[in-house]
A and B are shown apart, each in its own frame.
Chain A
Amino acid sequence: MSLVVAGRDSGSAVLPHAGRAAIPRIAFYVGLSLFALVWIAPVFILVFTALKSASDFAHGGTFALPERIEWANFAKAWDVGIRTYFANSALMTLVKVPAGVLIAAMAAFALTFLRLPGSRALFTFFIVGLVVPIQMTLVPLTLLLRNLDLIDSLFGLFWLYLGFGLPFAIMVMRGYMRSIPRELVEAALIDGCSWFGVFRRIVLPLSTPAVVSLLIFDGIATWNEFILAQIFLRQNSNRTLPLGLVNFQTEFSTAYELLAAAQCITIVPLVVVYLFFQRYFVDGLSGSIKS
Chain B
Amino acid sequence: MSTSWNRRSFTLALAGALAAGVPVLPASAQTVPSGKVTVELFGLVTNGFDPVIEAFQKDYPNITVKWTKFGTDEFKQALRVGAASGKMPDLWFNWGGSLAYPYSRAGLTLDLTGRIQDLKLDQTLVPTAIVLAQDRGKLYGVPNRIVPMTIVYRKEMFEKAGVKVPNTFAELEEACAKLKAAGITPFSLGGKFSWMTMRFTDFFMEHYAGPKLHDQIKAMEASWDQDAVVKSFAKLKEWNDKGWFNQGFLNVDPATNMQLVYQGKAAMVLEVPSIEVTRLKRENIDPSTYGTFLMPTDQTPRRVSGFQQQLQVSAKAPKDVQDAALLFATYVVRPDLAAKHMASIGGPSAARGVVPGADSPLQAQYATWLQEGLQLFLPGDQALPQEMVAAYFEAQDSVILGAMTPAEAAKSVQQAITGFKARQQ
Contact = CB atoms under 8 A, between A and B. Distances in A.
Direct A–B touching in the complex (beta carbon < 8 Å)? yes
A54 interface: yes
Interface stretch (B18-26, B97-105, B278-286, B414-422): B278-286
Interface string A241-266: 00100110111011110000000000
Interface stretch (B64-72, B229-237, B323-331): B64-72
Interface string A29-73: 000000000000000000000000011001101000000000000
B84 interface: yes
Given A236-B69, A253-B255, A230 B74 contact: yes
A232 B81 CA distance: 8
Contacts of A230: 74, 77
B44 interface: yes
A142 B85 contact: yes
Given A146-B85, A230-B74, A58 B262 contact: yes
B390 interface: no
A235 interface: yes
B276 to A, nearest CB: 13
A76 interface: no
B258 A254 contact: yes
Contacts of B255: 253-254, 256
A247 B81 contact: no
A61 B256 CA distance: 10
B414 to A, nearest CB: 31
A149 B6 CA distance: 43
B213 interface: no
Contacts of A254: 255-256, 258, 278-279, 282-283
A190 B419 CA distance: 72
A255 B45 CA distance: 14
Given A234-B78, A250-B44, A250-B45, A54 B259 contact: no
A59 B284 CA distance: 10
Q: Which 8 A-B pairs have the closest CB atoms?
A: A250-B71, A146-B85, A251-B45, A58-B283, A55-B284, A253-B255, A247-B71, A142-B85
Interface of B: 42, 44-46, 66, 68-72, 74, 77-78, 81, 84-87, 255-256, 258-259, 262-263, 278-279, 282-284
Interface of A: 54-55, 58-59, 61, 139, 142-143, 145-146, 151, 230-232, 234-236, 243, 246-247, 249-251, 253-256
Given A59-B283, A143-B85, A254-B258, 6 more contacts: A142-B85, A145-B85, A230-B77, A234-B42, A234-B70, A234-B78
